[in-house]
Structure 1
Amino acid sequence: MSRRSAGGDQAVSSSSPEGPDDHRPRFTASFEWLPTGLAVPALLGAVLLAYFVVPVAVFLLRMRAVDLVAGLTDPTIRDAIRTSLVTAPVSTTIATVFGVPLAYVLSRGSFRGKRLVEALVLLPLVVPPIVGGVMLLTIVGRYTPIGAAAVALGMPLTGSHAGVVLAQTFVAAPFLVVTARAGFDGVDPRLEEAARTMGYGPLRTIRLVSLPLARNAIAAGIVLTFVRAIGEFGATMMVAYSPRTMPVQIRVSFIARGIDAIVPIALALLAIAVIVVVAVQLLVGTPKQH
């Protein structure tokens, strides 16, 4: 059947689902909660995110079959946790004290050999950690001039907490330099010039203008550096197999007793990393969206 419109001969089918009086809900495959154009990138990113989350979730489920209290009270595991908690903050502090100034120089400076310096900063990132450990041994090993002098003074640089710090700093400090430099690159140089016109000296300008504006990037670098340091295995194993850090102890326990033996210490390592990330976020905050 059909009906005539008031103006003439056009007919509208009364059974058409597209009629003017049809208010039935229609399904639309749209992502209204995403900005336009982000649906496909979000789908692809979700695949990678799932790859990150699923192993963590399965690992946490395995906790139910393991006696965590007994594991964490094991003296060897407690010693490994204590060693990591002592050395990783020291390594991170060293990287911050020396890395932030280097990042600022690379961001603001223009000098001959700058490209070489940038490449040297990235070198520990591209060298396998175990190879980095071998390189360190050629400098601080017991039979090298520096290593022998340290042993003579009663402060060996291998097989000690100092060796752990050296290994962690070597592999982790570049994360701080790279991230902090990105933060300084994002600071408008005109703001620093304005501070200079107000009578601020170079160091005061950096302290009151540059550092506060780049603080989020620096904080991110500190987090990355700490997490990398506390999770370092290859270089640490070469330079200071003992005292054992958490990653080294995880390897030893896995070889000796299997995967269930490493669940308590691996959980402790994960918990420490999460606590540090959350603490820095609360203290520094996240970058604001403009």
Structure 2
Amino acid sequence: MSRQTPSGDGSGSGTSRVREAPSAERDRRSRLGAAIDRVTSPRAVPVLLGTVLLAYFVVPFVAFFGQVGSVDVVAGLSEPATRQAIRTSLVTAPIATAIATVFGVPLAYVLSRGSFRGKRLVEAAVLLPLVVPPIVGGVMLLTVLGRYTPIGAAAAALGIPLTGSRAGVILAQTFVAAPFLVVTARAGFDGVDERLEEAARTLGYGPIETVWHVSLPLARNAIAAGIVLTFVRALGEFGATMMVAYNPRTMPTRIEVVRISKGLDAIVPIALALLAIAVVVVGLVQFRLGAPRRW
């Protein structure tokens, strides 16, 4: 005798609820598992630690911009001394960057590809300006380029004083900023497969042609990053510049003068201009190089 299955609205809805309950429970567990996976992901700890440092970078900028509304930026930038400092920085920093590029990229390639006695000493010499305090670096430059040194006296006799002039500013900026270009460009050359250069040689390219057509294009992103770092560092250089060429004023030295004479609020206009120039340069280079790859 067969058993009849109950039918009707009540039995139908009961069966539906029985079927929906496990499905809802599975969905809840799936969402919970996904949340746990995100928390326990290998990226979670780096992201958390990186976020803390990023917040430490961003908060001072936010606090700084919070003071902009209470300061007359236009009036501050209209001061003749401030405009002169901006012009000096915009002239000297690109020249220092160009000098660092012309001499630094070949040095970076030699350090990347060469193997010679004393290489470690050369590498250490490149890093020294990075570890020496900028003021100490300025004092070192004065012992070589000062007005009463042989080099400084000869340059002054030719009408090109190396201290208290734009030339002095450029020399100080180059000393402090050029190592950034050498280190970054060398990392770029290190990432170029030497077999590609060897293949270019087999196709008849000479050493210079190989570097120009193979090595430089493949390392261009790193070189461009080094150029940006060098320019921004030269633009913001204060310690060595103050020692070698306190006059003419650059933007950083002008900021220090204004801070001493008028207080912190008075430096907001020129500091804002310095920050704007740096952001524009970095933004243009990032746009030119394209968006970074996803992690």
Q: Tell me the TM-score normalized by structure 1.
A: 0.90
Verify: 1:80 aligned to 2:85, yes or no: yes
- Aligned partner of 1:242 in structure 2 is 247
- Aligned partner of 1:134 in structure 2 is 139
**Structure 2 residue aligned with 1:164, among 157, 161, 169?**
169
- Aligned partner of 2:275 in structure 1 is 270
Q: Which moved more, 1:34-43 or 1:70-79?
A: 34-43
Taking the TM superposition and a 5 Å limit, the aligned residue runs for 1:89-128 are 89-128=94-133
**Structure 1 residue aligned with 2:76, among 68, 71, 74?**
71
Give secondary structure in 1 for the equivalent of 2:192. coil
C-alpha distance in structure 2 between counterparts of 1:164 and 1:170, whole Å: 10
- Aligned partner of 1:20 in structure 2 is 22
- Aligned partner of 2:181 in structure 1 is 176
1:42-63 alpha-carbon deviations (Å, 9 max, x no partner)? 0011000000000001101110
Taking the TM superposition and a 5 Å limit, the aligned residue runs for 1:135-284 are 135-284=140-289
Q: Which moved more, 1:275-284 or 1:33-42?
A: 33-42
Q: Which moved more, 1:186-195 or 1:276-285?
A: 276-285
Q: Which runs of 4+ in 1 moved over 6 A?
A: 31-35
More helix by share: 2
Q: Aligned-pair RMSD on alpha carbons?
A: 2.3
Q: Tell me the TM-score normalized by structure 2.
A: 0.88
> For the pair shown, which has the larger CA radius of gyration, 1 or 2?
2
**Structure 1 residue aligned with 2:46, among 41, 52, 68?**
41
User: Matched residues, percent identical?
Assistant: 74
- In the alignment, is the contact (CA less than 8 A) between 1:216 and 1:285 conserved in 2? no
1:98-152 alpha-carbon deviations (Å, 9 max, x no partner)? 0000000000000000000000000000100000000000011000011111111
- Aligned partner of 1:4 in structure 2 is none
Cα offset, 1:30, TM superposition: 3.1
Which ranges in structure 2 are unaligned for 5 or more consecutive residues? 1-20
C-alpha distance in structure 1 between counterparts of 2:129 and 2:23, whole Å: 69
Cα offset, 1:258, TM superposition: 0.6
C-alpha distance in structure 1 between counterparts of 2:267 and 2:145, whole Å: 31
- In the alignment, is the contact (CA less than 8 A) between 1:183 and 1:218 conserved in 2? yes
- In the alignment, is the contact (CA less than 8 A) between 2:147 and 2:161 conserved in 1? yes
Taking the TM superposition and a 5 Å limit, the aligned residue runs for 1:54-65 are 54-65=59-70
Cα offset, 1:34, TM superposition: 9.3
Cα offset, 1:20, TM superposition: 2.1
- In the alignment, is the contact (CA less than 8 A) between 1:216 and 1:287 conserved in 2? no
Cα offset, 1:35, TM superposition: 10
C-alpha distance in structure 2 between counterparts of 1:183 and 1:204, whole Å: 18
Cα offset, 1:36, TM superposition: 3.6
C-alpha distance in structure 2 between counterparts of 1:124 and 1:228, whole Å: 12
Question: When the two structures are aligned, how many residues end up with a matched partner?
Answer: 275
